[in-house]
Structure 1
Amino acid sequence: MTSTTPSSTVTEKAATTAVPLNDLLAHRWSSRAFDPQHELSEPQVSALLEAARWAPSASNTQPWRFVVARRGTAEFDAVLDTLAGGNQVWARHASALLVVAAQGTDRPWALYDTGQSVALLSVQAGHEGLAAHQMGGFDRERLQAALPDGVTPLVVVALVRRSEHTRLPEPFAGRETAGRERLPLEQLMLSLRLPTAS
C-alpha cells in the first residue's frame, strides 16, 4: 500500500444535510484509506490535543486523558495489537493511534464529557486536513492493563492524512466509496410524556 497523494486531491464525501452546515462538520467522515507515509507534525498533535482540552465538562472536571502512540514506536504496536482484527488491517497505517480514556468514571458525566473532547478533536483534525477514525473495537481489558490506575479506555482514534490511492481489501474498499447516510431528523425527535391534568 503506497500513496503520495496530497490532501487536496482526496475524495470528499460531503454530507447531504437538511440545512447548510459548517464545512468542517459537513465533510467529517471516518475514512480507512490512509497515507502510510504521512507523519503528524508536533504542531498538529498540539492543536488536536488543545482542541480536546477545551471541551466543556461538568463542574470543569475535565475527565479526558490521552496517550499519543506514534507509528514506528513500541507504544503504537502495543495499542495496535489490542485492536480488533478488522481494524488492524487499515489502522496499522495511521500516523498515530490516540487512546482516549476517562478518569473518574463513577462521576455521572465523565463519559459524556470525554466524548465531547473527542468531538472537538475530530473537528480540529478536519481543519488540519487529517482523518480521525474512532474505533470501539479493541480489547478493553488488555488496554486497561497498560494504562495507569484510575482511568478507563473508551476509544482509540486513528490519526492520519487520507489517500484516495490507497487500496483496501473488501469490505473496507466498498465502505470507503459508499454514500453517507443518517436517519432523518423527524426520526430522532422525541415527545415528553407529560402528566395529564387532573
Structure 2
Amino acid sequence: MDKMADSSVPLAGPIAQRWSPRALDDTRDVSWEQLRALLEAARWAASFGNTQPARFLVGRRGDVTFRQILGTLTERNQAWAHRAGALMVAIMVTRNEKGEIPYAEYGLGLAAQNLVLQAVAEGLVAHQMAGFDAAAVRERFAVPDEAVPRVAIAVGHAADPAVLGVEKLVAREQAPRSRLPLGEIAYTGEWGAPAFTS
C-alpha cells in the first residue's frame, strides 16, 4: 500500500515511502542477503567518535532466534509481528574499552533509521516497536550488562491490511500519514518563531 509522505518539497525516495505497517505477508521471506544489506546500512551510520554503539539480534521467520524475539513482544505486537519475515532487537552498547560511550542512544537511533530506510530501498517494510520485554531479551540472549535492548524491529513484505482481521486495525493501517507542519518544528530567531510558514 502506497502511503507517500505529503511533504512541502520532494524527498529522497526511501524517506518519502517509509512508514510502519503492521499488515505483513507471511508467505514471503526476507533473505539473508536482504538482511545483510539492512545491517550494512546500520553499520555505516554516523556515531559519536565512530564508537558504533549499535548491535542487533537477528532472526528469520521459522528459526529459534525469531521465535525467542517474538516471545518477548507484547501480546498486541505478537498479534501481527508473527507474520514478519524477520525480527530484530536493536541494542545499544553503553561502554567500551575506553569507558562510557557518549550519545550511545543517539548512535543506535541513527543506525536503526539507516536500517529502516535500506529496508524500503530493498522493497521491504519495517516497523519499530517499543512494546517488548527488554529483561527477557537480556536473559534469553545473554546480553551483557553494558548493552541495553532498546527497540524491536519487524521486517517483511507489506500485505493487504485485511490480514489484520480487526476493523479498527485495518482502518488504522489505511489511514493517511500525518506530521506536524514544518513551521511547528523548525524555528528561527527565537523559540516558536517558524522558519517556514507553509
Q: Give, as a single letter, the amino acid of the residue that structure 2 aligns with 1:76.
A: F
Maintained 8 Å contact 1:33/1:176: yes
Question: Which residue number in structure 1 is paired with residue 195 of structure 2?
Answer: none
| Aligned match of 2:104 | 110
- Residue from 147, 151, 157 that aligns with 1:161: 157
Provide the C-alpha distance between the structure 2 equivalents of 1:36 and 1:29, rounded to a whole number of angstroms: 19
Cα offsets for 1:83-121 (capped at 9, x unmatched)? 111111100000110111011165331000010001111
Between the aligned partners of 1:52 and 1:12, the Cα distance in structure 2 is 25
TM-score (structure 2 length as normaliser):
0.87
Q: Which amino acid aligns with 2:126?
A: A
Note the C-alpha offset of 1:141.
1.4
- More moved, 139-148 vs 115-124: 139-148
- List 4+ stretches of structure 1 deviating above 4 A: none
- Candidates 126, 129, 141, aligned match of 1:132: 126
Q: Give unmatched runs, 5+ long, in structure 1.
A: 1-10, 193-198
Deviation of residue 166 (structure 1)? 4.6
- Name 2:52's counterpart in structure 1: 62
Whole-angstrom CA distance in 2 between matches of 1:40 and 1:76: 12
Seq. identity, %: 42
Is 1:177 the equivalent of 2:174? yes
Deviation track 1:26-79 (CA, whole Å, cap 9, x = no partner) reads 110001111101111121111010000000011110000011111112221111
Query: 1: CA distance between counterparts of 2:108 and 2:101?
Result: 12
8 A Cα contact 1:66 1:100, kept in partner: yes
Secondary structure of the 2:37 match is helix
1:81 aligns with 2:71: yes
Residue in structure 2 matching 1:51, options 20, 35, 41: 41
Partner Cα distance (1:53, 1:108) in 2: 17
1:94 alignment partner AA: A
- Residue 71 of structure 1 corresponds to which residue in structure 2? 61
CA contact (8 A) 1:34 1:166 kept: no
Distance 1:101 1:107 in 2: 13
2:163 and 2:155 map into 1 onto residues whose CA distance is: 18
Distance 2:88 2:59 in 1: 6
Contact 2:73 2:131 in 1 (8 A): yes
Question: Which residue is 1:38 aligned to?
Answer: 28
SS of match in other structure, 1:138: coil
Runs of at least 5 residues in structure 2 that lack an aligned partner in the other structure: 192-198
